[in-house]
Every structure is written in C-alpha cells, then in structure tokens.
Structure 1
Amino acid sequence: MDDQSRSGRKTEIEHRDIAPSRFDDTDAQNREVSAKLRNPLAGISKEQMFLDVDAFAAEKGLTEHIPILRKGALLAQNPHFYEDVEEFTAEDKAAIDYEHAHKWSHPKTMYATIFLCSLGAATQGWDQTGSNGANLSFPQEFGIGSLEGEANYERDEWLVGLVNAAPYIASALFGCWISDPLNNWFGRRGVIFLTALILTITPICSGLTQNWQQLFVVRLLLGVGMGAKGSTVPVFAAENAPAQIRGALVMGWQLWTAFGIFLGFAANVIVQDTGVIAWRLQLGSAFIPAVPLALGVWFCPESPRWLMKKDRYPQAWKSLIRLRHHELQAARDIYYIHVQLMEERKIIRGDNYFRRAMELFTIPRVRRATVASGVVMLAQQMCGINIIAFYSSTIFVLGGSTPRQALFASLGFGAVNFVFAFPALFTIDKYGRRTLLLVTFPQMAWSLLAAGLCFLIPNASNDPVEAGSLKIGLIAFFIFLFAAFYSPGEGPVPFTYSAEVFPLAQREQGMAWAVSVCFGFSAILSITFPRLLRVFTPTGAFGFYAGLNVVALVLIYLFVPETKQLTLEELDSVFSIKTREHIRYQTKEATPYWIKRYIFRNKNATLEPLIAEQDNWDNKIVGHSQRSHPGGMAEKGFSREDNKATGEVEQRE
C-alpha cells in the first residue's frame, strides 16, 4: 500500500514520541487516544526512562525495587524485542521467553483467585433454576396460583412474575449502583465477602417465608447482593488476569453461572418428591456456593489496579508478585499500568459518585464503552436464554410433558448450557468476543424459532403417547440446540466484555451500568413472559425472541468493537474510534470484503484492519520495531511496510 493511501486513513495515527508527563494538561483533557495501539513509553530515551522510574519509585514507596522496576519499564517499552537489552540477564530473558511460549502458565494463586470468586456466579444461576422449579408449587401455597378462567388468574399471573423478578429489580435499581461506593470503601475483596454473606442468608430465608409478600421482600434483598456481586466479581477477575487469556479467565463467571443453573435443576429433581416443602428446598439450597466464596476470598490477593487507584503501590506490588511468575513481569505490569493511569486521569475528571456517573455519557471514550457494554448486556436478554432459565418447567408442561418430565428436561437444558460453555475457554481469546457473538446469534435465532414451531405439532394421533413424545422430544432438542449455541457466545461474552472496556476511574460505575441493564431487562422479561406466553402462545413467544436475536445481531455488528488480547489500559485506543467511523468501516469495508471472500470465494479480497499497531522503528533503546505491547495484541495480517505508514485521526468528538 502506498504512503498516500495509508495517510488518508483517519483511523490510524502514529506514536507520539513524547513521555506521558510531557502532555499539556488542557490539551490532554480534550484529546482522545489514538486509533492505533500506542505505547506511551515509545520514544523515551533510556536515561529519561530511568529518571522517570526513579521518581516513580521514590514517590510510591518502591525505592528498594528500583533495579527491577527499571528493567520492567524497558520491557514494557519493547516487550517483544528484548534480546539486545543489555540490562536483561539470561534469567530475565528466559522468563520472558517462557511467558510468550506458555500463555496458560501462571501461579496457582492467580487461577485460584479468579475461579474462587467466580463461584459467586453459581448462586445467581442456582437461584434462577430454583425459582424455575418452585414456580410449579409455591403459587398454590401462597394463594396466587389461580388457574386460567378463574377470577384472580390475571392478577396472580403478574404476581408470580413479580416475585420471580424481585432479585433483578433490586439489582438493577440499587444493588449494581452501590458497588461503586462499596468498592471505594472496602475494596474488591471486601465487597465480594459482604455480598457472599447476603447470598448465604437470603436463600435460606426464602425457604422460610410464609406468604408471597415475605418472599418478595427477601428476594429483593437477594437482588441487592446479586447486583453488587455481579458488578464486582468480573472486574476483580479482569484486573487480576493477564491480557493473553483474560477472556478465558473472566468467563469463569459464565461457567459458574451455567454450573449453578445445572446444580439448581439437579436440586429441583432431587427434592421433587419431598412434598409441600419441595419449593422451599429448591429456593433455599441456592446458598451453598456462596459459603466457600465467603470463606476463601480473604486468601486471595487484592486487585493491584484497585490498590494503585487508592495510591497503595507497595501493596499493589505484593499482589502482583503473587499473581505473576517473575518479579520482572510484576515490575513491567505495575509501571505500565501506572503510566496508562496517568494518561487516563487527564481526561477523567469525576471526583465524586455523580460526576463519575455522568462521565459514562459525557466523555466520548467512556460513552462508547457504555454503549458497547449496554448492547452486549441487552443482547443477553434479547436472545431469550432467560425465558428458558426462568420458565423451562412451565414451557415443557405447555408442550405436553408432566411436571416430573419437565424437571428432567430442564436438567438436560442445564447440562447442555454448562458443557457447551467450555469451548469458549479456548475460543474467546483466540477468535475474539465480537466474532463469537456474530457467529452464534444467527444460530440462536433459527433454533429458537424451530423450537417454537414444534409447539404446532398436533397431539392427536393414532397413538397419542407416541405423538406427545415426538412433540416434547423435538421441543427439547431445539431448546438444547439453542443452549449449545448460546453457551460459547452470548453466555460468556457480556460480563467479560463489560468488565474490561472501562478505564479504571470509571470501572465500578461502568460495570454497574452494564449489570443494571442486564438485570433490569431480566426483570422485565421475568414479569412479562408468563403474560406473553399466554397472549402470543408458545410459538408466537419463541418467534418473538427469535426476531430479537436478529435485532441484537445488527446492534452488535454496528456498536461492539473487538477487545481480545489487549491490556485493560490499551483498550483506550479501541474506544477512541468514533462510533460513526466504526459503523462506516463495518458497513462499507468489512461487509463488502466478507461478501467477496466468503460468498463469491474471491481469495484475493483483502481487508485492512480498523486498528493497527504502530511500529516504532526509531526506538532509541533497543533499535527494533515495537510489534506489540504487554499481552501481545498485534493485529494479524498487518505488514511491517503497512506499519511504517502513519496518519492521524481527529481527536475531538
């Protein structure tokens, strides 16, 4: 590609070969980050780098670590071209080589931290399925189970939906939004511990309630814990995970949610023959996964990024040492994070709760993350997964099964949902969040539509039992197929994506926004679906959600950029691209390329990446180009010759 055509691309700009401290504060406040992945350390001389590191160490109480911090800064500046750096020993180079060659090799503490805390998600999944089974019996005990045609049927229908929706109402309106001050006061671990206590007590209390009003209030309290937990745990995991496999680790949230759904369905089957107390056991048993969470969270290291936000750098250093194999990796990460945080503070001005909330919509970089996270969370409700998770037992009964058969069919749904979440562990970072969504949403649309059409199969036959079995079997098959498409795509992506897209100053508020969107629309779905099911019939209801899958697919295509294998700080570059530029690229460049390449089979079709990493061929320290930053995010298919070219985007919205 010639220099003239390259310079015309407004989505790419060159590295600014100046230190972060050199930015004029007023200009930096209005400037957005480049659409190229830029390293703020690029172009700084070794002497200046060491002066900056020494000043950083003195200011933050890390003077005893100056030698390793200097090495860490050099590695952050040139993470893939370190062989010629004279400061690196053979041991240092061996540690870097090992990190590049073994991306899954990390301390057990890091894995234990992420997966222990993700246990909290199992409580949410278990509660969904506990209420699913309880729907078959608790309305009758509390006098809100009128049958169709009886006097209070419509009122009772709304009340059952309201009780089911109570945790999500409380989460969306209150629980999510208190996570910001709670995190500020108690830290990530403290909030997780407090919410684990709530999630231990409230399910037990749910099983002891004596009327629907008490059950409604207890489930509201459950929602407070769910909201604060859902806004904290994915962020905690994202902040502790290395960029190369962050998606796979943070999706532990979805994996444990799916496991909780499966365990909840299993519990429903186990206690089905316990008589009138069955629904109490189904709701109350959801406390089980919260217990190890409460007991184990204090053995985990606190988030280094949260500690740095609170200016507690010595503690952040200790946390990183526990989360990384080698001191050099910890030194690289703590200095690189610090430099990027200094950049963020030049455009992030919110110094109180309400100003930070406003900045979700007023700062262009943050607003784009707000829109993207809102879209992926809304899509999770639009896809229809929760109409199955909340009401599968009811749906299978409407399809002609007995309540007992419905519980076993629901157990099968839970098993499929859990098992098919595992492929995402290996695909979410390889293929990316956006790709998984774009591939799976069309499959969810047609499989959900097929499940709805199966309700039209007539029951009348020479052998009614055989006809009913065929109908139920086909309904279950397509619902299971729908779950198999959901689990590796829209299942793990929303919470993983939302936890990583916001800058540190906005992370709690941003995650609160995203989770409130998810839980808020989950509440709406829970309240309205029983009525929708009756008015639209099962076929119409399933067809309606199949159509919403198509709408969600379009929204994702236009408003959700890719984030795979970038550090949390480098995502500033991704969200610096204007929304209209992203839409233009997808509609006018990516779509025509896809049609030429995969429909007309034109192997010569090419697509220039929207974001490319800028090489720094004139780096004075090593003398090599900078192909990637910590985490290895270089775009494939972008040549060195292409990388030499530069251009500049307009920085103001």
Structure 2
Amino acid sequence: MNDKEISTQEEAFPDRERRGTLTSINLNKNLAAKISNPLSDIPRDVLMKDVEDFAAEHDLHDIVPDLKKGALVAQNPGGFDEMEEISPEEKDALRFEVTNKWRHPGKLYITIIICSIGAAVQGWDQTGSNGANLSFPTEFGIPIGQDIPQDQREHNEWLVGLVNAGPYIGSAFLGCWLSDPLNTYLGRRGAIFVSAIFCLLTPIGGAISQTWEQLLITRLLMGIGMGLKGSTVPIFAAENSPATIRGALVMSWQMWTAFGIFLGFCANLAVYRVGDIAWRLQIGSAFIPAVPLCLGIFFCPESPRWFIKKGRLRQAHNSLLRLRKHPIQAARDLYYINAQILVERQVIGHSNYLSRFTELFTIPRVRRASLAAWTVMIAQQMCGINIIAFYSSTIFREAGFDEFAALMASFGFGLVNFVFAWPAFFTIDTFGRRSLLLFTFPQMTWTLLGAGLSALIPRSNPAHLGLVAMFVFLFAAFYSPGEGPVPFTYSAEVFPLSHREVGMGFAVATCFGWSAVLSITFPSLLGAFGVTGAFGFYAGMNVLALIMIFFWVPETKERTLEELDYIFAVPVRTFARYQISTALPWWFKRWVLFNKNATLKPLYTFDSGLADRKAMLRKTGKV
C-alpha cells in the first residue's frame, strides 16, 4: 500500500467515466507538492447525483437542498458569488465568514473555553510543586540543601525529581495511550470527562499524603488524567474549529496552561506564611480548574469529525449546526470533510489499535506527521521551559535569592509567561506555526545564555539578582508566543482522522516523557554544573531544536485538517531540499541584505478551487 500510486478522487469516487480527467496524486509521495480538492474535477450534474446518493445512504433527505448548495461551495469556495443556486442571504453568510473570521456561534467559544480550562490543572500543578519543593522534602525526610552530606543530598535530589516527575511518568506510560481506546468508545467528550475526574481527585490526594511514597502515587495517578486530557482536548478543539482561526482556538490550551502556571504562583505566595501545611495547600489547590471541566464538558457539542468517523452523519450535521453560523456552512463542511475522509481512507484504510501505532512509523504520510509532531513536542522540553516551571524557585534560591524573593521572582516568571502568550492568539494563524518557532528559538538561546552568564556575577553585586531574573523573564517572553502554544496545536492538526488519537497520544507521551526525564535529572544537573552550566546546556539544546524544526516541520496554517494530507504527502527530502535551496537564500537576501525585491517561489501548488479561496482571502486581507 505504501508505494501504490493512488488517484485520490478516482478511488474515492469510483465512476471515473462520469468525472472527466482526474489528477493522480499519491498521498504517500506527493512529489508535485499539490494541494488538491477531491471535488474540483467533478461535473456539476454528477456532483448533484453524488449528493443525492450520499443523502440517501445516510438518511439525510430533509437537508438535500442544503447539501447540494454546500457541495457546490465546497467544490469552488471562491466562486459562490456567481452561483445562481445560492441565495443572497447565503452569499452574505459565506462572505461574512471571510470578512469576520472571529464571528462564530457562542457554542464554539464555550466549547473551547470549557475544555481549555482543564489545561490550567497542568500549569497549576507545575507551579504548586515548584513552591512545595522548598518545604515538602524536609517534612518527608529527604532534604536537598547544601548543608546535607553529598551522598545523601544526591540520593534525595533524585527522589525529589522523581516526585516532581510523577504526573509526567503517569502520562507518558499510561495516560496518553488511553486516549485511543477511550476516544473510540466514549467519544471526545467522554474521554475528557474521565480525565477531569482524575485531575479533580488526585491533587486532593497529594495534599493529604503522609509519606513521599504516597505523594508519588497520587502524582502518578494525576498523570493518567493529564495525559488523557492533553491527548484529547487539543484534538477536540481542532476538529470543532474553522480552518482560518483553528490555531488561535487550539492554542487556548496553552493560554490556560500559562494561566494555570500564573495562578499556581499566586497560590504559592498566598499560602507562603501559613506554616507546615503550606506545601499541602500548594499541591492540593491544583484541583480547582478541574471542577468547571467536569461540570461543563457535556454541554459542548461532540466533534463532528468523530461522528463522521463512526458513520453517524446525522449527528455530525447537528454538531456542525451548533458550531457554524448558517446551515449552508454546516452542509458545506459536512460534505467536504466526508469527501476528504473518503480519500484519506484509500491510503490509510482501517486497522486495530496495535496496527495504528505501528503505522505511525510505516505509512509514509503518517510517518511524516509523526516526525513533525515528535519534533515540536521534544523541542518544548529541549528549550528548557520546564526546568524553570518546575524549579524556578530552586534556581533563584541557588542564584542567591532568599525564599520569599525566590517565590516573588517565580511569580514574575509566571506573569510574563501568561501575558506574552496573548500575542500568539493573533499571530499563529497569520504569521504561522513554523514561522513563530523559527523566530523565537534563537531568542530563547541568547536569553538562556544571558541568564547563565549573569549567575557568574558575584552575589555581592546588586546586578547579579536583577540580571538573572531579567533574562529568565525575557526567555519566558519569547517562549510564550512560540514554542509555548505551537506543539499541542500543531500535533492535534497533523495526523489523519484514522490515526489522530494514537498519533496525538504518541506526541503528548513524547512531551511528557521527556518532561519526566528533565524533572528527574535537573536537580542533579543543577548540583553538578550550577546555574550557569545548566542554562548553557539548554541554550545548546535550543540550537539543536531550531535545526530540527527547520528541516522537519511544515507549515499548517489556514489549511483544513483534511487538506493537510497533501502537505504531509510531500517527502521529507523534497521539503528539506526546498528549505536549503530556495527558502534559506530568499531569507538571506530579504532580511540580511534587505533586498525588498527578493521573491520566494512557493513549494506548494493548489487546485483551482483552493486557489480561488486563497485569492478571496487575500482580497479581504485575511491572508
């Protein structure tokens, strides 16, 4: 199957003689880098007959008129103004969708907000354990101060790292991999509800733990909920969102993670002076964001793509009616998504859970998505953000801050991380995912180097503390609109529907697994190399991550989830060769030599219908 030339429209719509000339595109080896619309070459009368057959097959007779008009718009998205079948009111609705891309039903935004609130659990827990690190080790008999004998201190550092890593170990080894079966049987909403229950109960269990072993167990169980939630919520948001603002809506996951980090630091300061139970309150308070998630998830419409995957087209249409402003938009999306999924199935087929996992690395189209998702996820750990999220209070104390000043500096880091996540909300769908990463990674490199070198300034010098804090804050300011929101947004987009759950599970397991490794090893790394050496090491990791992103991560902005099949059908060698031979020389001419006349030859070409849509967006200033 991997090497078979597949005529995508021809296989999905088998009556070839009725459809005229069809373009043959191999979704496993798209050498022409062409983005195709499977409806574009179908004659109008044949398309209308196909719509009638589709409606009859799925018992959608009552919406046939809407489906016919929706199919025509899907076939030629930029040409609806010339279609006599489309009423003036429907044309206004389609035009409004382009000129007012943020105007969508409240149900869509409520769905995104309720689901993304759950991300605050993850951020809150990170900062709760951050503050708790200053006191719980002593209560449980595993202190890590400099006055402890070296052998004992090294042993205790590993234990503290293990406790901090608990949620990420539980996520990487179990929670993420439950996403596929639970999504299959319970749907997106059911899987999210199960994750919310884990995230609600386990922080409370951690707060009443009496030994470090009990605390570790509660944190491992929390990881099941975090992994399941992290693997499902971004998919749910991506599948419900329109392509033009999908990045912004899915990145609300990161917004709420950053907000959770900020609230966690606020909680740390609020309970700082309550005595021996401070660390219990810091860890236990992370249950709060899970409450609205538990209560609100079933008020959200289920993913229409999940319904289509299950063959429940009526329910998919009902969901789309709640998520789109006009019935013609719902009919268009229903017919177009289903048509693209039919094409996708010719390449991917149907498989069981074990086969789907192995196919992440054996089917070329899926393997390229796995590589790109793995790259952006592991880069989030390589950049060093979580050493600060987990250990900023410890780092600042090692750099010479007293305990309260360390918590205040950590609070400042959390505030910067949240505030600077907002720019990505407006740039991720215009500037693009790839461009944000390529811009911010160099900035994170020099800011980490600056923080590390500032730690060499004698502590008696007032500049020591100020410069360390300033560079850490600058690092957060560049991380938040770049590598912060992109990985979960990007990974939720790139996999085909057939492998989306297991693919996202793999991507999140990569992120959380390496987060666990980082959490366990960083106390020892800090003890061995100090603040300067630790920051210098992660500055080097930023450079490596930048190179990987440059060669392996394609852009996904403004393409529907199904159109990304064609993006990831382009071989990695073709993509990397284009970056070296075309994109990099253009960038040098344009931004180093400041040659405004330099032009970039695009890698991808588009079917006429898709090209019309891009032209329409350009006319309205949306591209």
User: Given the two structures, how large is their TM-score scaled by the length of structure 1?
Assistant: 0.90
Q: Distance in 2 between matches of 1:633 and 1:373?
A: 29
Match of 1:567 among 555, 560, 563: 560
Hey, what does 2:20 align to over in structure 1? none
Residue in structure 1 matching 2:579, options 561, 580, 586: 586
Rounded Cα–Cα distance in structure 1 between residues aligned with 2:28 and 2:513:
34
Corresponding residue of 2:103: 105
Query: Aligned to 1:483, what secondary structure does the other structure show?
Result: helix
Equivalent residue runs for 1:302-451 within 5 Å: 302-451=302-451
Other structure's SS at 1:567 match: coil
Instruction: Please state how far the C-alpha of 1:37 moved relative to its aligned partner.
Output: 1.4
Shift of 1:630: 12
Residue 614 of structure 1 and its aligned partner are, at CA, apart by 3.0
Structure 2 partner of 1:502: 495
What residue ranges of structure 2 are gaps of 5+ in the alignment?
17-23
Structure 1 residue 592: deviation in Å? 1.1
Contact 2:368 2:572 in 1 (8 A): yes
1:541 aligns with one of 534, 541, 548: 534
In structure 2, what is the Cα distance between the partners aligned to 1:16 and 1:527?
48
Separation in structure 2 between the aligned mates of residue 243 and residue 633 of structure 1, nearest angstrom = 15
2:131 to 125, 133, 149: 133
**8 Å CA contact retained: 2:40, 2:608:** no
How much has 1:612 moved relative to structure 2? Answer: 2.1
Q: Name the stretch that deviates more: 340-349 or 270-279.
A: 340-349
Query: Could you report, residue by residue, the CA deviation over 1:124-183 in whole angstroms, capped at 9, with x for unpaired residues?
Result: 000000000000000011111153442521111100000000110110111101110000
Aligned-pair distance for 1:266? 0.3
Alignment partner, residue 619 of structure 1:
none
With over 3 angstroms needed to count, the CA separation of the structure-2 counterparts of 1:184 and 1:629, relative to structure 1, is farther
1:249/1:31 CA distance change after superposition, 3 Å: closer
Give the fraction of aligned pairs with identical amino acids, expressed as a percent.
Answer: 59
The residue type equivalent to 1:484 in the other structure is A
SS at 2:38's partner residue? Answer: coil
Distance 1:289 1:486, change over 3 A: same
**Alpha-carbon distance, 1:604 to partner:** 2.9
Could you tell me whether the CA contact under 8 Å between 2:99 and 2:622 is conserved in 1?
no
Task: Encode CA deviations 1:257-276: one digit per residue, 9 max, x unaligned.
Answer: 00000000000000011100
Give the alignment of 1:202-281 within 5 angstroms: 202-281=202-281
Letter in 2 for 1:284: G
1:165 aligned to 2:165? yes
Amino acid at match of 1:242: P
Amino acid at match of 2:290: A
| Whole-Å separation in 2 of the counterparts to 1:209 and 1:193 | 25
Q: Distance in 1 between matches of 2:349 and 2:316?
A: 23
Q: Tell me the residue number matched to 2:21.
A: none
Q: Distance in 2 between matches of 1:272 and 1:90?
A: 62
What whole-Å deviation, never above 9, does each CA across 1:97-117 have from its counterpart, x for those lacking one? 111110010000001101110
The counterpart of 1:627, out of the listed 584, 592, 612, is: 612
Q: What corresponds to 1:601 in structure 2?
A: 594
Secondary structure class of the residue paired with 1:441: helix
Aligned positions of 1:44-59 closer than 5 A: 44-59=42-57
Query: Offset at 1:404?
Result: 0.7
**Cα pair distance change 1:17/1:129, threshold 3 Å:** closer
User: CA 1:365–1:496 in structure 2 vs 1: closer, same or farther (change >3 Å)?
Assistant: same
TM-score, normalised via structure 2 length: 0.94
Q: Does structure 2 conserve the Cα–Cα contact (< 8 Å) formed by 1:128 and 1:261?
A: yes
Q: Look up the SS of the partner of 2:512 in the other structure.
A: helix
Distance 1:181 1:28, change over 3 A: farther
Shift of 1:348: 1.1
What is the CA deviation profile of residues 51-86 of structure 1, one whole-angstrom value per residue up to 9, with x for unaligned ones?
Answer: 111111111121111010000000000111112211
Please state if 1:21 is matched with 2:6.
no
1:244–1:632 Cα contact (<8 Å) kept = no
C-alpha displacement of 1:599: 1.6
The amino acid that maps onto 2:528 is V
Cα distance between partner residues in 2 of 1:16 and 1:544: 47
Residue 536 of structure 1: how far off its partner (Å): 1.1
Equivalent residue for 2:87? 89
Preserved contact between residue 357 and residue 509 of structure 1 (Cα < 8 Å): yes
Q: 1:564 to 1:234 in 2, by over 3 A?
A: same
Deviation at 1:605, TM superposition (A): 2.2
Question: Within 1, Cα distance between the matches of 2:595 and 2:613?
Answer: 30
Aligned to 2:182: 182
**2:63 maps to what in 1?**
65
Equivalence for 1:114: 112
Cα gap change, 1:633/1:489 in structure 2, threshold over 3 Å: closer, same or farther? Answer: farther
Deviations 1:348-387 (A, max 9, x none): 1342100111111111111000000000001000111101
Structure 1 counterpart of 2:145: 147
Aligned match of 1:643: none
Cα distance in structure 1, aligned partners of 2:26 and 2:36: 17
Residues in 2 aligned to 1:630 and 1:386: alpha-carbon distance in whole angstroms: 42
Cα distance in 1, alignment partners of residues 579 and 411 from structure 2? 40
Shift of 1:344: 0.8
Is this contact kept in 2: 1:19–1:41, CA < 8 A?
Answer: no
Q: Does 1:529 align with 2:522?
A: yes
2: CA distance between counterparts of 1:631 and 1:236?
Answer: 28
Whether contact under 8 Å (1:242, 1:631) holds in the other structure is no
Q: Verify: 1:283 aligned to 2:283, yes or no.
A: yes
| Corresponding residue SS for 1:605 | coil
Amino acid at match of 2:204: I
Q: 3-state SS of the aligned residue for 2:180?
A: helix
Q: Deviations over 1:415-457 (max 9, x none)?
A: 0000000000110001100000000000000001100111101
Q: CA deviation at 1:628?
A: 2.5
Match of 1:557 among 534, 543, 550: 550
Which AA in structure 2 matches 1:62? L
Residues in 2 aligned to 1:293 and 1:349: alpha-carbon distance in whole angstroms: 34
Aligned mates of 1:380, 1:153 — CA distance in 2: 29
More helix by share: 2
Q: Is the 8 A contact 1:350 1:359 kept in 2?
A: no
CA distance 1:81–1:626, shift in 2 (3 Å): farther
CA 1:222–1:571 in structure 2 vs 1: closer, same or farther (change >3 Å)? same
For 1:630 and 1:376, locate their aligned partners in 2 and report how far apart those are by CA, in whole Å: 30
Write the letter of the residue equivalent to 1:192. I
- Residue 20 of structure 1 and its aligned partner are, at CA, apart by 3.2
For 1:190 and 1:93, the matched residues in 2 are separated by 37
**Deviation digits for residues 573-605 of structure 1 (CA, Å, limit 9, x no counterpart):** 111110001110001111111112222223332
Can you give the 5+ residue segments of structure 1 that lack an aligned partner in the other structure? 1-12, 461-466, 617-624, 639-653
Q: Distance in 1 between matches of 2:397 and 2:208?
A: 27
Distance 1:73 1:382, change over 3 A: same
- Report SS of the residue matched to 2:605: coil
Deviations 1:172-221 (A, max 9, x none): 11110111000011100011111111100000000000001111111000
RMSD: 2.1
Question: Shift of the alpha carbon at 1:318?
Answer: 0.6
CA contact (8 A) 1:76 1:630 kept: no
Q: Confirm or deny: 8 A CA contact 1:304 1:320 kept in the other structure.
A: yes
